[in-house]
Amino acid sequence: MVAEYGALQYGRPFVFWLGPRPRLVVSGPEVAKDVLTDSTGTFRKGSGSNVNPLSRQLLGEGLVALTGEKWAHHRRVISPAFNMERIKGWIPEISAITSSMLDKWEVQGETRAEFEIDSPEEFHTLSADVISCIAFGSSYEEGKRIFQLQDEQVQLALLAMRTFYFPGFRFVPTKKKQRRHSLNKEIRNSLRRLIEINRKKCEDSKNLLGLMLSASKTDKEFKMGIEEIIDECKTFYFAGKETTANLLTWATLLLALYKEWQHKARAEVLQVCGKNKHPNAETLSSLKIVNMVLKETLRLYPPALFVNRTFTRDVKLGKLDIPAGTQLNMPIIEMHHDVNIWGANAEEFDPSRFADGKSYHLGAYFPFGIGPAICVGQNRTMVEAKLALAMVLRGFAFDVSPSYVHAPMMAMTLQPQYGAQVLVHKI
């Protein structure tokens, strides 16, 4: 990773060049807090027009990719879909979908005392089903084709982002370019059909699509065109699925490695929820150890490795004079593993760091970001992950499979390169 190599070679901060543009790498809780909570517009979200155009098709003009006034407009429209009361209303659906996954595990457990699962595969399917249900009111089967297309689109986007970009290269006809356009067109058409099928039903509902459609009809301030809605659907399909699935994958793996925490978390679930009763909004809030496990998992394996901002004007940052247009890189994972913040055991899994609601410097721990651009879906991710993990712990125990190879890899999110195989047995 450039940030780690540069820090070892040059110390902190340091500058490297990404094509024709300088990128300043800084770290430390105070500077992270100042930059990410800035409300003056000095630090623009993301890198705007500097994003490789070949990778833009993945998220289109959705919330993750937008900046400036357009981002603020979309944020105002989408935020109401993620308030905690609305998320609590989705708990029965999340619970039912998780039960369906565990029923399949039960069937496997009937013929074998122990069986192997690949956690990413299981939890991506689970998260995809949840997203389809709570966002669009459709079954997973209706949205399955979109996820398959997006998976291929991710691979092409990753290839594009790892390729040195020459201005004008996007106009050169290649097979990969043709496939990218074909995928983008098919995904957008599929989403357009899904929107039309669910339009009447969704306008009367409180899910994401329903809120966007309703706002577009009734309030000029919150109006979004159909193409904008499609872009947000693409973002939610991808970002919502990836973040939750990866959190559950890493949490399951860590609990398989650190059995004492698996036992503690299971004991808490059984004490709070019992053996047969599904968690609800009230009992979820009582699962303190499960919450600690998820927070520590996000510390060790945050969804993104770094966050970028762009200076919109000349700024003096400490002793440095930074010209406008400079891109700022803050490595989240480095701060999450900093021994000066987390102690000598910073590389170890220790959920007790978050015991009794213990908090850290605002700029030391931010798996979902902080400030105005904090991830709009973080509460949904945490509720879904907490509920699913509690239900898994209640019925199953797990160990690391001998076939597992530890190789974290940054794709669009931080994920295990060769899967995360665990051995599961019913309890």
Q: At 21, is the pLDDT very low, low, confident or very high (cuts 50, 70, 90)?
A: confident
C-alpha dist (Å) from residue 390 to 245, 264, 418: 15, 12, 25
Burial (CB < 10 A; 0-12, 13-18, 19+), residue 39, is exposed
Between strands 43-45 and 421-426, the pairing is unpaired
Question: Which amino acid is residue 302, in one-letter code?
Answer: P
Q: Which residue has the higher pLDDT, 60 or 86?
A: 86
* Residue of higher predicted confidence among 355 and 233: 355
Same domain for 25 and 75?
Answer: no
In a domain, 421, yes or no: no
Who has greater pLDDT, 400 or 321? 400
Spatial contact of 185 and 230, defined as CB atoms under 8 Å apart: no
Range in 164-168, 171-175, 313-317, 400-404 the model is least confident about: 164-168
Question: 182 lies in a domain?
Answer: yes
273 is in an annotated binding site: no
Average confidence (pLDDT) over 396-423: 93
Residues 159 and 244 placed together within one structural domain of the fold: yes
Q: Which percentage of the chain shows pLDDT scores above 70?
A: 86
Amino acid at position 252, single letter: T
Rounded to 5 degrees, φ, ψ at 292 are -60, -40
Q: Is 45 part of a structural domain of the chain? A: no
For 123-132, 219-228, 255-264, 281-290, which range has the lowest pLDDT when averaged over its residues? 219-228
Counting residues of the chain whose pLDDT is more than 90, the rounded percentage is 45
Does one domain contain both 94 and 196?
yes
How many other β-carbons are positioned within 10 Å of the β-carbon of residue 315?
16
If you average pLDDT over residues 102-107, what whole number do you get? 95
Q: What is the CATH number of the domain that holds 194?
A: 1.10.630.10
Inform me whether the pLDDT recorded for 25 exceeds 50. Answer: yes
pLDDT averaged over the chain?
Answer: 86
Q: Find tokens 């150890």 and name the residue.
A: 289
Tokens of 341: 């913040």
- Does residue 16 lie in a domain region? yes
Q: Determine the structural domain holding residue 22 and report its residue range.
A: 1-36+304-366
CA atoms within 13 A on the CB side of 332: 23
Give the other-Cβ count within 10 Å of 324's Cβ.
Answer: 11
Residue 418 three-state SS: coil
Q: Which parts of 265-387 are beta strand (E)? A: 306-311, 315-317, 320-322, 327-331
Work out the widest C-alpha separation in the chain, in whole angstroms.
Answer: 67
* Single-letter amino acid code for the residue at 22: P
Instruction: Please state which of the ranges 193-207, 277-291, 328-342, 367-381 shows the lowest mean pLDDT.
Output: 193-207
Q: How confident is the model at residue 351 (pLDDT cuts 50, 70, 90)?
A: very high
What distance in Å separates the CA atoms of residue 43 and residue 317, rounded to the nearest whole number?
A: 12
Q: What is the CA radius of gyration of the chain?
A: 22
Whether 322 shows a pLDDT value over 80: the answer reads yes
Please indicate, yes or no, whether residues 311 and 288 belong to a single structural domain of this protein.
Answer: no
Which among 366, 385, 404 is the end of a domain? 366
Residue 47 CB neighbour total at 10 angstroms: 18
Shared-domain flag, residues 230 and 92: yes
Nearest to 396 by CA among 157, 202, 116, 154: 116
Does residue 198 sit in the same domain as residue 131?
yes
Is there a single domain that holds both residue 69 and residue 213?
yes
Within this chain, do residues 362 and 376 fall inside the same structural domain, yes or no? no
Regarding whether 125 and 30 lie in a shared domain, the answer is: no
For residue 400, the surrounding DSSP H or E stretch is strand 396-400
User: 110 with 247, same domain?
Assistant: yes
Is 293 a domain residue? yes
Two structure tokens written together for 283: 């009992």
In a domain, 425, yes or no: no
Q: Looking at residue 358, what is its pLDDT?
A: 77
CA distance 228 to 164: 29
The domain that holds 14 is classified in CATH as 3.30.43
Residue 10 has a pLDDT of 40
pLDDT surpasses 80 at 368: yes
Residues 378 and 358 in one domain: no
Q: Are residues 95 and 194 in the same domain?
A: yes
- For the chain, the domain total comes to 2
Comparing 195 with 93, the larger pLDDT belongs to: 93
**Per-residue pLDDT band at 410 (split at 50, 70, 90):** confident
- Token couple for 42: 């000095």
Helix (H) or strand (E) holding 262: helix 259-273
> Residue 427: inside a domain, yes or no?
no
Residue whose tokens read 């997973």: 140
